[in-house]
Amino acid sequence: MTLANANRRDIIVDFTHAPDELFLENIMEQTDGRGPKGINPKKKVNLLKFIVEGNPVEGNLVIAEGTPLRPHVALNPEDVKITREFKFNRSNGAWQINDKWLSPRRADAVPALGQTERWILKNGGGGWAHPIHIHLSGFQVQSLNGRTPPKEIQFNNDTVALEGGDEAEILIRFSTFTVPFALHCHILEHEDMRMMSVFDPQPAGQLSPCDGVTAIDPMISGIAHHPQGLFGDRGPVDIPLIQDQGVGIPHTDFTPGGGGVAPSPTEVGRKHNSGKN
């Protein structure tokens, strides 16, 4: 099975006829940061070692295909009253959703609590994969590029992997909290460079306080005043400050209002890795 960043699968392993010692291997070869090269069992990397010992377990369960394990409640497409689209695209050397930069003060979706929604998640292309992770509620993939998705992603997921140009149709229903949550690409460099969006489930008909302008109580939102003014406690995010910086948050040497020369993303990564920042 392929697991993108943050993907999870429940699996059942039958060790009845296993050797005394065996390994879970990663056979997806990857030699640089641009993505995996493909499956290559000769370039395997051991991830986990199993030692199998002792006698067969009494009352060993037989799990056959179709054995019910955990009840699955399928969301019904006929309940959908609203469809939203999220396109994951590149801009200014960083990443956007629906051509917008992340603002923690702006909810890009205000789903009604308890209502099933259809979301279209679209990789804007350009060759990069985006494993899209949605917080707060599981979702069920209805179709992938217009076709029936693989069985393992038809049930509850919190992440769906989108290769370049892929489009997933999902059903999602929020029934718990009414505070701003995030959806984002789970490749760390992409989420760090703003491929993130805020949604704020509310009772039907109620507006979100995250209107993009109003100050949000930092005790509720976690949005503290940023010393460089990017995420101040009021007003829209100052787009000129982040344009052409190549990264979501400028390096600390960056002077707001001009003068500073922004480092390349590589330099930022190196400085952050030095432990001084």
Q: Which residues bind Cu ion (CB under 5 A)?
A: 130, 185, 187, 190
Minimum gap (Å) between residue 51 Cβ and Cu ion:
37
DSSP label of 177: -
Minimum gap (Å) between residue 133 Cβ and Cu ion:
10
Listed residue (109, 82, 84) closest to 182, CA to CA: 109
Q: Give the residues across from 170 on adjacent strands.
A: 119, 141
Question: How far, in Å, CA of 33 to CA of 30, rounded?
Answer: 8
Q: Which is nearer to Cu ion, 158 or 233 (CB)?
A: 158
Minimum gap (Å) between residue 129 Cβ and Cu ion:
7
Minimum gap (Å) between residue 272 Cβ and Cu ion:
19
User: By the 8 A CB rule, do 94 and 100 touch?
Assistant: no
The torsion angles phi and psi of 190, rounded to 5 degrees, stand at: -75, -45
Q: Which is nearer to Cu ion, 55 or 266 (CB)?
A: 266
Q: Which is nearer to Cu ion, 130 or 194 (CB)?
A: 130
CB atoms within 10 A of CB 87: 16
Minimum gap (Å) between residue 130 Cβ and Cu ion:
3
Q: What angle do CA 254, 256, 257 make, to 5 degrees?
A: 130
Secondary structure in 3-state letters for 205-268: CCCCCCECCCCCCHHHHCCCCCCCCCCCCCCCCCHHHHCCCCCCCCCCCCCCCCCCCCCCHHHH
Listed residue (237, 265, 238) closest to 251, CA to CA: 265
Minimum gap (Å) between residue 76 Cβ and Cu ion:
30
Q: Which is nearer to Cu ion, 105 or 184 (CB)?
A: 184
Q: Which is nearer to Cu ion, 190 or 251 (CB)?
A: 190
Q: Which is nearer to Cu ion, 43 or 90 (CB)?
A: 90
